[in-house]
């Protein structure tokens, strides 16, 4: 059986599940026509972090990563790949197989990256389809985009997403991307058939882009609030509301 769930594809095989997630980045780098100028290694780190966060948020651990780079291998591709490998190594993903491709036929004037992750989990460990009426909703981290990502200390890391992945008390986790918190809450309403009772402060910008998965919506039972709030001790924890 194969199904799409939010932004990932899930392939079921016996007692296991394979999760396929992806991300793309364009116009960020050091090419002449890039809109945001940053080192290519940062581009590699950011891109792989987003795709991995999607897989980890549903409870799956990566086994294969494919990087499709629409640029030449040297020097752009080499720097992006170094960033990808450094991000994996620093977060303990030592046994993930890495493959990919580069553009060697034509000169490019803009940086472009595609990342695909294949991850694996036991079916019962997936953080999907477990949301019930009365469960609480909160935000870990805070939405940031563009250069804010480089200067903010409350951006979620892969280690944070690993903690979310391993936390049994979190029944659903949704990384916030370019469409913002409000959009992801609407998606949760659609897939659960429940309504979100919003109780967040006006200071929380629910329409702002979350950039490269800089924050994550989590769902949990009220009885577990203390443990969830202290899971990421150095990152913001913002109560959003509950399902009804």
User: Which tens digits make up the pLDDT trace of 24-53?
Assistant: 999 999 999 999 999 999 999 999 999 999
We report the CATH number of the domain holding residue 167 as 3.90.650.10
Q: For 36, list phi and psi in degrees, rounded to 5.
A: -115, 120
> What is the tally of structural domains in the chain?
2
What integer is the mean pLDDT of 178-203?
A: 96
pTM for this model (two decimals): 0.93
By CB atoms closer than 10 A (0-12, 13-18, 19+), residue 127 is buried
Same domain, 115 and 183: no
- Tell me whether residue 52 is in a domain: yes
Same domain, 88 and 171: no
Beta-carbon count within 10 A of 41 CB: 18
- Tell me whether residue 154 is in a domain: yes
Query: Per residue in 47-98, pLDDT tens?
Result: 999 999 999 999 999 999 999 999 999 999 999 999 999 999 999 999 999 9
The domain in which residue 92 lies consists of 2-125
Same domain, 149 and 224: yes
Q: What is the pLDDT of residue 150?
A: 83
């Amino acid at each position: 059986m194969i199904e799409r769930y939010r932004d990932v594809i899930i392939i079921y095989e016996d007692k296991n599940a394979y999760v396929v997630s992806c991300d793309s980045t364009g116009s960020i780098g050091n090419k002449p026509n890039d809109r945001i100028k940053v080192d290519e290694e940062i581009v590699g780190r950011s891109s792989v972090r987003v795709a991995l966060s999607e897989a980890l948020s549903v409870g799956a651990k990566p086994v294969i990563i494919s990087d499709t780079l629409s640029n030449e291998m040297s020097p752009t591709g080499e720097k992006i790949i170094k960033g990808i490998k450094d991000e994996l190594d620093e977060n303990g993903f030592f046994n993930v197989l890495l493959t990919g491709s580069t553009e060697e036929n034509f000169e490019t004037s803009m940086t472009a990256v595609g990342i695909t992750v294949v991850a694996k989990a036991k079916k019962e460990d997936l953080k999907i389809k477990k949301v019930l009426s009365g469960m609480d909703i909160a935000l870990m981290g805070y939405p940031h985009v563009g250069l804010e990502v480089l200067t903010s200390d409350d951006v979620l890391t892969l280690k944070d997403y690993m903690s979310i992945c391993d936390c049994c008390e979190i029944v659903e986790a949704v990384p916030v991307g370019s469409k913002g918190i409000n959009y992801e809450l609407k998606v949760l309403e659609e897939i659960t058939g429940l309504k979100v009772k919003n109780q967040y402060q006006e200071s929380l910008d629910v329409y702002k882009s979350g950039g490269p998965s800089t924050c994550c919506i989590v769902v949990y039972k009220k009885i577990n609030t203390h443990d969830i709030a202290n899971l990421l001790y150095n990152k913001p924890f913002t109560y959003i509301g509950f399902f009804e």
